[in-house]
Structure 1
């Protein structure tokens, strides 16, 4: 009879030696100040580990631990002011934590991984891997191990979060302790520890504990009470929205938080996020609700209205407040053939906002592009002479860039 253990990998054995490509690419201070090469290397490393995970999750987890040890020292000289490199590392952590957490290894191996990761977390100076603490409970992989880590970290965490602490008191393992308490199911202790804390970074763990204990109404009140100058309103809105959605209160979630909880990198992306989350809501209603929720930013919703097919509303929005001239120029150019009247309107608006000083790092090329797009739409509509006069009127109305726009327009033959 064959050995029944032959079908199961040895959880205690060391992983097969593997020549990780990223190992040599992540030496201390190996990157210059430019963030893009570093971001590319981070993404390559994650892809390499994920590829290995398809055939050997244990080996991939060991590689993920190695990467998380090496990434912060390697990036110390990179310019992080834009936040893009930090986002790339946080995305890498989110991708690699499930690989480490899901690897089937014995207690000794996991204990060694956790020790290495905690040491890396403590040595993180910039910091780049700070969010690793938020995942500590998952990395422990079991309530028992999480409870052991909570016991190890709880005394100092209590002191650091005490109302009587000295100003500037900080412990890099605080969120790791809170995450471990949550994974261990020690919800009452967790709530008690952060009860007097003001920072949402820590208070959110009490909300999670309350939810895990079935105390949704209390969690919502506690989250709302967490608003202060040091906390992110959007993060709190997103948590409150999720509480209501989990409770089946979709209408209240949308009305109270939907417009504020789903902010993305652009107004168009925000509109798409809200319509995707609330498909029962007519897109037109969502758009108008977003506009109302952000007074003074009407023009920034132009692209969302245009892409949704609400062209009349798009023009009206672009008239109310500054709208990016390049966005308007592209719309004029793209819609000239099928919607010349719309293309003509937005082309004129592009020139209007150029005259009024809207747009970032505007050049004469931007003005010429807007003028040509407008004239082309006018040619399709058979209104060239009229539109040239309208353009002159836009310039004559005056504005911060009136002379600059006039000079660029005069250089174009109609």
Structure 2
């Protein structure tokens, strides 16, 4: 049979050894994104070739990125995200045992050469990548004695680069007792190793033991490495046992996360579809304390009474309130009027990030339009005058409000 010509990967030219300097983190992240996109595109029609592309990328990550400053953590996060996307391609590729065995040797060598554990996502799932029981056992046994000796020595610390892949292979090979015995001899117990033990118990149907095993790492007041992952593991068990409310209170709510307050709420609502969405929002506000910061989440979730309560809080951002008043002054005029009023009050009392006197103009404009639609123009002016004359109102913003009110009065007197 004719040998299949090697695929020409575009990303290889940008992933040469020593290709990146100390301050090339952003450039390296862009290169990872393009490499991942290229490999995933090939995977749609040529999954085996795409898997070989993942291996080629893995072999080049450490040599190419060795000299980059990683102190910000951005590059490490990007590498992990990229490999998390690509490892399933390796696992799912349809190959014979001999071919997969060769792949594993290449990956094992890359892990051994890796200076900062960039390839941890591959080591974590090495047993799954092995696919065949014989290969799982082969790599489980390769360094087993070495790991036992290193971990048994509680005086001197010795790092074994292949420890994680060994644990992964023991797990996937179903050698649960050996796996747990190996973990038991370690002096320190951290989640990046202990997750394999917890999973081993879970796969044996020992749910309560798995829960206790993981929870033990959260037993004191310290913030252990992998705290969020530990909590999610425990949460999953409790939900599976039909104890969703307990899972939510014990693990879900304290570890809720997202890029925005709205994303945090949506994440919990998605994870707990049977719980009341309004209750979840109220719980989050109580747990995180920064009430004003939750305004946008409450508004978007359509809990407008909660949103108004947030808008009145001292840490609500006037700029956010002004945008909401602008967007809703025609559709929800009563709500928009009250939000705009809160924005004016915050500005006059010196709140907000780098506020401008023009913010007063805009907030008052939206307030008057919204108030006019509900027949509350006189109320709006009365409240604005009350703010303007308040002892707490002083400075540039208060002066601006007084000028805006004077302008409104002149305009009304002319008509």
Are the equivalent residues in 1 in contact too, given 2:329–2:369 (CA < 8 A)? no
Partner of 2:412: none
Spell out, residue by residue over 1:205-252, the C-alpha distance to the aligned partner (whole angstroms, 9 max, x if none).
111010011100001111111115233432222111111122333333
Shift of 1:176: 1.4
Partner of 1:87: 77
The whole-number CA distance in structure 2 between the counterparts of 1:175 and 1:327 is 47
Are the equivalent residues in 2 in contact too, given 1:335–1:343 (CA < 8 A)? yes
The whole-number CA distance in structure 2 between the counterparts of 1:170 and 1:408 is 65
| Equivalent residues, number | 394
Name which of 86, 103, 107 aligns with 2:97.
107
The whole-number CA distance in structure 2 between the counterparts of 1:172 and 1:189 is 19
Judged with a 3 Å threshold, the aligned counterparts in structure 2 of structure 1 residues 189 and 348 are, in CA distance, closer, same or farther, namely: farther
Segments of structure 1 that go 5 or more residues without pairing to the other structure are 1-9
Spell out, residue by residue over 1:173-212, the C-alpha distance to the aligned partner (whole angstroms, 9 max, x if none).
2221211111111111112222354212222211101001
Name which of 173, 176, 179 aligns with 2:168.
179
Name which of 302, 305, 313 aligns with 1:309.
302
Name which of 225, 250, 262 aligns with 1:231.
225
TM-score (norm 1): 0.83
Partner of 1:253: 247
Local SS of the residue matching 1:120: helix
Are the equivalent residues in 2 in contact too, given 1:378–1:387 (CA < 8 A)? no
TM-score (norm 2): 0.83
The within-5 A match list for 1:48-67 is 48-67=38-57
- From the CA coordinates, give the structure whose radius of gyration is larger: 2
Shift of 1:322: 2.0
Shift of 1:316: 1.1
The whole-number CA distance in structure 1 between the counterparts of 2:346 and 2:25 is 33
Are the equivalent residues in 2 in contact too, given 1:341–1:377 (CA < 8 A)? no
Name which of 151, 176, 191 aligns with 2:180.
191
Q: Does 1:271 align with 2:265?
A: yes
Name which of 188, 212, 217 aligns with 2:208.
217
Name which of 17, 28, 45 aligns with 1:38.
28
Partner of 1:333: 326
Shift of 1:374: 4.2
Shift of 1:364: 4.3
Local SS of the residue matching 1:225: helix
Judged with a 3 Å threshold, the aligned counterparts in structure 2 of structure 1 residues 170 and 346 are, in CA distance, closer, same or farther, namely: farther
Shift of 1:79: 5.2
Shift of 1:328: 2.7
Judged with a 3 Å threshold, the aligned counterparts in structure 2 of structure 1 residues 337 and 240 are, in CA distance, closer, same or farther, namely: same
The within-5 A match list for 1:13-412 is 15-31=4-20, 33=23, 35-78=25-68, 80-162=70-152, 164-167=154-157, 169-195=158-184, 197-227=188-218, 228=220, 229=222, 230-294=224-288, 296-320=289-313, 322-350=315-343, 362-365=353-356, 368-369=358-359, 371-382=361-372, 383=377, 385-386=381-382, 388-389=384-385, 392=388, 397=392, 403=395
CA-atom RMSD, angstroms?
Answer: 3.1
Segments of structure 2 that go 5 or more residues without pairing to the other structure are 409-415
The whole-number CA distance in structure 2 between the counterparts of 1:370 and 1:16 is 68
